[in-house]
Chain A
Amino acid sequence: RGRAGEMTLQVPDWQSRLAASASLTGDDMAGHVSVTSPLSPAMSDGLSVIFRGGLLEAQGDWQWRDDGPYIEGGLRLRDLQLDWGGITASGGAGELAMRVHGEQVTLASRGPITLTELDIGTPIRNLRMTLEHADLITWSLSDIYADVLGGYLRAPALDWPSPAFQPVVISRISLDQVAALQTDPVVQLAGRVGGYLPLQLGTDSVAVQGGRLANEEPLALLLMPSSSTSAMAGANRAVQLALDSLSVLQISDFQASLDMTADGWLDAAVTIRGENPQQRRLPVVFNYTHRENVLVLLRSLRIGDEISRQVMDKLPQPGR
């Protein structure tokens, strides 16, 4: 007894395909549904994200109960590529278990979710994390890892969004890559630093409070002759002396404290102890504070990236 039906639905300009089966036994209605769809810019209209590529496959068993649909199923994502306001992500992949009970949607990953590259102005590579639990409002992640600035970032667990400051460990960060972020370089740096950054993950913002960094090996600092430093030096004798003593520095002790507000303002205070080999190993204590809006910096780097991409692709430059 009972009736059964099959249905397939195609969305041509998205090349998506949905197949569903249903059977009615008594007054229970149940069946299976599967969706396969490439992720394309066409389907991103109105979204704040533009899908540049990827394949989504989902399937599940469903049941219609009096308090709404029940679905138990899984989601698989491969070769995800997207652009989110200039931030580009590529090589996204992962498998998720999904359960829908009426209004309640829960997701959890089967194995790690990975992303080959996330370019925020500086590349973050080989991201890995496990999605412990998500209900589309809060996402609880664990075993988070990523390569950044020549070193890596690691966190046992992170909730997003959350007002709490959750510690992330960073290590082997190579200062020459950090120095390369300077839009007009004043200093060259070498050596590795590490430490921890308590992060507050807002819905679309990140803040740091009480971050600490220290050198993981001897470092080196080289002051580069640049318009700003020579202008300063010309100003007065004391500045000239300071710049000379800083010209080359072998650093034995580097301590930094970092704070960044959700709107991107970074305040860093650095204390460096070292010697200047060119000044008869003159001992130097260098207290340096740095204030900069990191969001604007990364955005100007992304604009910079776009210019270099155009130059590399030999696109015609308007007006040149």
Chain B
Amino acid sequence: MSLDDAKGQGLVGEQPNGYLGVVKATPEAVELVADINNKRREAYERIARENGITLDQVATLAGQKAIERSSAGTYVRTPDGQWVTK
């Protein structure tokens, strides 16, 4: 299952901390989220190292952008933890 399908079916959504979140914990969704988040962490580490800032700063900035760019109707998480559709 692709990330776009998972988002389209409301199984996963973007979070302010820059990592993908599970909305409905189907086995496929959980596995997809784990895989994607590992790849994102590696990418954030590279960017943090190259720019001399911390991993959290990169992840938070990426989270803001991910939520901004989420298409309407997909799930995004609010700072106080609720899943809402954009």
A–B direct contact (CB < 8 Å) = yes
B80 interface hit (Cβ, 8 Å): yes
Chain A interface mostly helix, strand, loop or mixed? loop
A319 interface hit (Cβ, 8 Å): yes
Minimum CB–CB distance for B54 against chain A, Å = 6
Q: Is the CB of B80 within 8 A of A310?
A: no
Given A45-B80, A46-B80, check contact A319 B45 (CB 8 Å).
yes
Count how many pairs of residues, one from A and one from B, have CB atoms less than 8 Å apart in the complex: 23
Minimum CB–CB distance for A270 against chain B, Å = 30
Interface positions, chain B 39-86, Cβ under 8 Å from A, are: 45-46, 48-49, 52-55, 57, 79-80
A-chain residues with CB within 8 Å of residue B54 when the two chains form the complex? 306-307, 310, 317-318
- For the complex, give the distance between the alpha carbons of A317 and B45 in Å: 10
Q: Give B81's nearest chain A residue, CB to CB.
A: A45
Chain B interface mostly helix, strand, loop or mixed? helix
A320 interface hit (Cβ, 8 Å): yes
B-chain residues with CB within 8 Å of residue A320 when the two chains form the complex? 49
Q: Is the CB of A303 within 8 A of B49?
A: no
Q: Is the CB of A319 within 8 A of B48?
A: yes
A-chain residues with CB within 8 Å of residue B52 when the two chains form the complex? 307
Q: Is the CB of B55 within 8 A of A318?
A: yes
Interface positions, chain A 298-319, Cβ under 8 Å from B, are: 303, 306-307, 310, 317-319
Contact of B49 among A46, A306, A307, A319 (CB under 8 A): A319
Q: Give A45's nearest chain B residue, CB to CB.
A: B80
- For the complex, give the distance between the alpha carbons of A45 and B55 in Å: 24
Minimum CB–CB distance for A300 against chain B, Å = 9
